[in-house]
Structure 1
Amino acid sequence: MTYCVGLRLNEGIVMMSDTRTNAGLDNISVYRKMFVFEEPGDRVITIMTAGSLSITQTVISKLRHEVESVDASPKTSIMLAETMLDVVEIIGQALSDVTASIGEKMKRMDSRQPSAAMIVGGQRRGGDVRLFLIYAEGNFIEATEDTPYFQIGEHKYGKPILDRVVNVETTIEEGRKVVLLSMDSTMRSNLSVGMPLDLVTIRRDSYRIAGRERIEPGDPTFTAMSDAWSRALRDAFINMPG
């Protein structure tokens, strides 16, 4: 499993993913699930993936191939697409095509049908900051003021704090804190989600990554935050009237 969460705030975007991938208790690996495409001053695009690695890695490889192709065009390359909507349509088409192709091969082998999903966030010069959730079929939805965040993967454990805390007025700094606590809650309840963690922030109208972090096991700041959150929850429980 995996867990990825993205926030679309008035100040910009916060995105975070874990890196654990497991095919059984004795086969646990680390794979990056966050991918950044950036042309500072023009556009920044961050993609997070969940689901079948065979699908997501193939999609990312195809996107990179089109970016680097001498025949790249606004219809094929996310780094030339005119809007973030065009970017998401390119990614959605690639995800749909790869899912169908690999699914057909798995069907012939009478195997379980694979699936995947992606969160895409960023900004193109001249456009707004935008955050999308793309499904395996290639269709997508966009974050709004009413629903300013998306999750993919093992999302249920980290959702309560997002529902209680996050709105479009949340600052980038607060957003960073809340996704860290959301990830901490998920890792405590599900061993299939784990470190290292990747976190990026994008500030509105900067058209570049504002901050990029790789949080390793034993990170003192993350550990201190996790411990403080546990104490705060215990104290709130003890002092709650009832």
Structure 2
Amino acid sequence: MTYCTAIKLNAGLVFLSDSRTNAGLDHISTFRKMIVYEKAGDRFMVLLTAGNLSISQSVREILQIEHLKDPETGESITIWNAKSMFDAARVLGSAIRRVYDRDADALRKADVDFNVSLIFGGQIRGEGMRLFQMYSAGNFIEATGETPYFQVGESKYGKPVLDRVITPETPLAEAAKCALVSMDSTMKSNLSVGMPLDLVVYEVDTFQSDKVVCIDSSNPYYSMLHNNWGRRLREVFDSIEDPVWDDAHTDIPLKMPANRHEPLKKISSPSEKLI
């Protein structure tokens, strides 16, 4: 299993992935799930992968050579010469379909699903930043102001903090912190997600980034974040009053009249005999 998330902000993009894969309790390995495609001054793109490792590795390799035909000029479109992130995402979708055509039947005969999920985002000179979530069929959706982040893999544990913090106006440093808290929450609740982590922060209109880091358990910032997040959560939890059942002792009682039925209650009759 894995967990990857990417966030699109007015100020830039944040990408974060773990590196744990497992095929059972006794077979745990480390594989990178992030790859950066950078042509300084022209384009900066990041690909995050989740799902079947052999499929995602095949997609990454084929993406290097995959091309589409421009219907107007007949020229080949690759991720390195695409004039928009949308066209680059189309090339990635074509690479996914090529792997499907090659491997899907053999996988089906082995009772293995064609399972791959990807996040692909970045910026190409001449347009703004864009962020896409790619599916096994090669189709994709794009992040919007209302949905400024995507997750793939084991997403449920890290989603609440992203929902509460992230907006398009969130500063890049704060979004990177939020992504790391999201990852820390996921690793706390799911052993199939683990270190090292890969983090990339991209500033809008720079077409390159030096904010690329691999984070392991000895990383001082991550250790501080991990320890403080757990402690502060406990402090906030302890600061909230325990529930009180009537209004005789508090002005915020838990039990209040409501226009709905109470939970079903079965009361045994004194005449009923216990079996």
TM-score, normalised relative to structure 1: 0.94
Which residue pairs with 1:143 in the alignment?
Answer: 143
Q: Aligned pair in 2 of structure 1 residues 192, 74: CA closer, same or farther (>3 Å)? A: farther
1:89 aligns with 2:67: no
1:200-234 Cα shifts (integer Å, max 9, x gaps):
01111001124100001232210111110111110
In the TM superposition, 1:225-240 aligns within 5 A as 225-240=225-240
Larger RCO (CA under 8 A, 6+ residues apart):
1
In the TM superposition, 1:130-169 aligns within 5 A as 130-169=130-169
Which residue pairs with 1:49 in the alignment?
Answer: 49
Which residue pairs with 1:70 in the alignment?
Answer: none
How far apart, CA to CA, are the structure 1 residues paired with 2:66 and 2:206? 25
Matched-pair contact (CA < 8 Å) for 1:99–1:115:
no
More helix by percentage: 1
How far apart, CA to CA, are the structure 1 residues paired with 2:204 and 2:75? 23
How far is the alpha carbon of 1:92 from its aligned partner? 1.0
How far apart, CA to CA, are the structure 2 residues paired with 1:29 and 1:74? 41
1:68-101 Cα shifts (integer Å, max 9, x gaps):
xxxxx96442011111000000001111221343
Q: State the SS of the aligned residue for 1:112.
A: coil
Paired residue type of 1:49: T
How far is the alpha carbon of 1:117 from its aligned partner? 0.8
Q: CA RMSD in A?
A: 1.4
Q: State the SS of the aligned residue for 1:209.
A: coil
1:126 aligns with 2:126: yes
Matched-pair contact (CA < 8 Å) for 1:74–1:81:
no
How far apart, CA to CA, are the structure 1 residues paired with 2:12 and 2:131? 10
In the TM superposition, 1:189-228 aligns within 5 A as 189-228=189-228
1:188 aligns with 2:209: no
Which residue pairs with 2:253 in the alignment?
Answer: none
5+ unaligned residues in a row in structure 2: which ranges?
68-73, 243-275
1:96-144 Cα shifts (integer Å, max 9, x gaps):
22134322111233x1213101101100001101110000101100000
TM-score, normalised relative to structure 2: 0.83
Paired residue type of 1:91: L
How far apart, CA to CA, are the structure 1 residues paired with 2:235 and 2:103? 50
Q: State the SS of the aligned residue for 2:96.
A: helix
How many residues are paired up?
A: 236
Which residue pairs with 2:4 in the alignment?
Answer: 4
In the TM superposition, 1:25-44 aligns within 5 A as 25-44=25-44
Matched-pair contact (CA < 8 Å) for 2:38–2:208:
yes
How far apart, CA to CA, are the structure 1 residues paired with 2:95 and 2:66? 11
Which residue pairs with 1:22 in the alignment?
Answer: 22
Matched-pair contact (CA < 8 Å) for 1:74–1:80:
no
How far apart, CA to CA, are the structure 1 residues paired with 2:217 and 2:125? 36
How far apart, CA to CA, are the structure 2 residues paired with 1:118 and 1:183? 17
5+ unaligned residues in a row in structure 1: which ranges?
68-72
Q: Aligned pair in 2 of structure 1 residues 52, 237: CA closer, same or farther (>3 Å)? A: same
How far apart, CA to CA, are the structure 2 residues paired with 1:238 and 1:75? 61
Matched-pair contact (CA < 8 Å) for 2:66–2:91:
no
Matched-pair contact (CA < 8 Å) for 1:84–1:123:
yes
Mean Cα displacement is larger for which, 127-136 or 99-108? 99-108
Runs of 4+ in 1 over 6 A off after TM superposition: none
